[in-house]
Structure 1
Amino acid sequence: MAEKRDPRSWWIDEDPFDRLESKRPPPSHSSARDDGRRRNTHVRVVLSSTGRQGGEPFFRVFGSEPQPMSATVHKGSVWHFSSTEIEHLTVATIAFTAALGFAFGGGIGGAVLNLPGYLVLCSLLLIAIAPAFVIHEMAHKIVARKYGCWAEFRMSPGGLRFGVLLAAILQVVFMAPGAVMVIGNTTKPQFGKIALAGPVSNLCLWVLGIIPLAAGLGGYSEITDFILYYWLLANAFLATFNMLPFGPLDGKKIKTWSDSMFWMWFIICLGIL
């Protein structure tokens, strides 16, 4: 005699995002008791003992803010940006640029003594270095969205505060601005490709920076030399650093997917550094 299928099995058979929109009640919410009397539905709420919610940015070492546990799945263009994401990306980019300005301009003292010079320096760094960070994160987002995932950038307020203060005092840039949060069902290869998109985007930007040098624009002016030099350096460093197979870095995710892909791209990144 065939065994009856466990009525709870539909919870693991179906896509978790489908459950968010499904109105099908779980079996435990049946409307009748064994004695024929209707019973009231009881809802049990369980709170985390830490008070934190899921989906935190991966740089928890610098502190992070609680993130929503659920999100609406985007079904439109991969180029969709919510107002929240635009706000977080803007704040993170400004803070990152300010930290770079402190590091290159003599810390908080240099900025106070020469504010116009500090602002000009920040403008140049915004052009030369900030795209390496922004496009790296957007590459993760676009590939994740291509695979049907919800993906948006979320800044890490604690990481930004720490990075700006460190640069202002010690003139050292070590910052965790935030990360693209990805929610969805992916295969291991898809997960690895989402991670790989970041370093590959930096490699593409590095090649883009080589083109003006190959065209003979090197030495044209101090400003263009400054922008090209730090454009190449920032993209080479960010690609190589993120390929390290440790912690929350892209390299660990890529290596989990494929050793051969990891070593191939890691060697390429080392080659341009």
Structure 2
Amino acid sequence: MLKFTKKEVIYLIIAFIVLSFCFAISTVGTDFYGILSILPLVMVGVGIGCISHETGHKFVAMKYGYQSEFILWPIGLLIAFISSFFGMVLAFPGEARIYADNISDEISGKIAIAGPMTNMALALIFIVIAALVYPLKFHSDIFNLIFFIGAVGFSVNSFLATFNLLPIYSLDGTKVLKWNIGIWIVVFAIALIMMLLSISIGAENMVKLFIGM
């Protein structure tokens, strides 16, 4: 059974709130009312993304008999906040620390890749939801809201997956690359394509292409 420590829950809540504001700021800029209007929608994608990311690490770690705990990095959150004013979010909220001696590169890599792959799966779920409700969004404010949540959720989780797979110290990509460069290349390429699609053509245009509208 997955268990989160009290300290870990507090860390996740802090990371969730700060990153939600960061993604809202990077989307609408410094418009205070714009931030407030988009924040609840962003929080859905970020909240589910952050919690699921860490749950992915924990689940695989538990499978191999290890304990995993999310450790907050305040400086990383500050970097994310500052970068959001430039239209991007350099998300360094913390790391999943594995409490084990002499853990192999393979197991470490599999635990690390579980987080980004969870975000990739969530991104696909969000875009599918957006595609399903797209024809209805023109006739109902509720479906329009669901569509927007799906679009934002796809963009946020695609970014979280791609960013965490970068081979930078403390990020998951470093451990995955150390374990298997081939797997890292494939997974990173897929995540990168998803993120670039969300940036270049946008979730709504992607949905239009999917459903042929």
Q: TM-score, normalised by structure 1?
A: 0.61
Code of the residue aligned with 1:136 in structure 2: it is H
**Are the equivalent residues in 2 in contact too, given 1:200–1:239 (CA < 8 A)?**
yes
Counterparts of 1:212 and 1:170 in 2: how far apart (Å)? Answer: 30
Out of 48, 59, 65, the position equivalent to 1:148 is 65
Q: How far has the Cα of 1:214 moved from its partner?
A: 4.6
- 1:138 is aligned to 55
* SS of alignment partner, residue 248 of structure 1: coil
- Which of the pair has the greater relative contact order for Cα pairs under 8 Å at 6+ separation? 2
Identity %: 30
- 2:170 is aligned to 248
Residues 110-259 of structure 1 mapped to structure 2, 5 A cutoff: 110-111=31-32, 114=33, 118-167=35-84, 170=86, 172-185=88-101, 186-215=103-132, 217-219=133-135, 220=137, 221-259=143-181
Counterparts of 2:76 and 2:185 in 1: how far apart (Å)? Answer: 30
Out of 241, 263, 267, the position equivalent to 2:185 is 263
- 1:49 is aligned to none
Bigger proportion of residues as helix? 2
Q: How far has the Cα of 1:229 moved from its partner?
A: 1.5
Change (3 A) 1:225 1:183: same
Change (3 A) 1:214 1:119: closer
Q: How far has the Cα of 1:210 moved from its partner?
A: 3.2
- 1:103 is aligned to 26
Code of the residue aligned with 2:36 in structure 1: it is L
Q: How far has the Cα of 1:183 moved from its partner?
A: 1.5
* SS of alignment partner, residue 129 of structure 1: helix
**Cα deviation per residue 1:56-104 (whole Å; 9 max; x = unaligned)?**
xxxxxxxxxxxxxxxxxxxxx3x11111111111111111112223333
Q: How far has the Cα of 1:266 moved from its partner?
A: 2.7
**Are the equivalent residues in 2 in contact too, given 1:125–1:227 (CA < 8 A)?**
yes
Gap runs ≥5 in structure 1:
1-76
Q: How far has the Cα of 1:122 moved from its partner?
A: 1.2
- 1:84 is aligned to 7
Change (3 A) 1:237 1:118: closer
Gap runs ≥5 in structure 2:
138-142, 196-213
Aligned residues: 188
Counterparts of 2:3 and 2:52 in 1: how far apart (Å)? Answer: 15
Change (3 A) 1:182 1:261: same
**Are the equivalent residues in 2 in contact too, given 1:236–1:272 (CA < 8 A)?**
yes
Change (3 A) 1:181 1:103: same
| Bigger shift: residues 260-269 or 81-90 | 260-269
**Are the equivalent residues in 1 in contact too, given 2:105–2:175 (CA < 8 A)?**
no
Change (3 A) 1:139 1:255: same
**Are the equivalent residues in 1 in contact too, given 2:109–2:175 (CA < 8 A)?**
yes
Change (3 A) 1:164 1:254: closer
**Are the equivalent residues in 2 in contact too, given 1:148–1:184 (CA < 8 A)?**
no
Q: How far has the Cα of 1:166 moved from its partner?
A: 4.6
Q: How far has the Cα of 1:256 moved from its partner?
A: 1.6
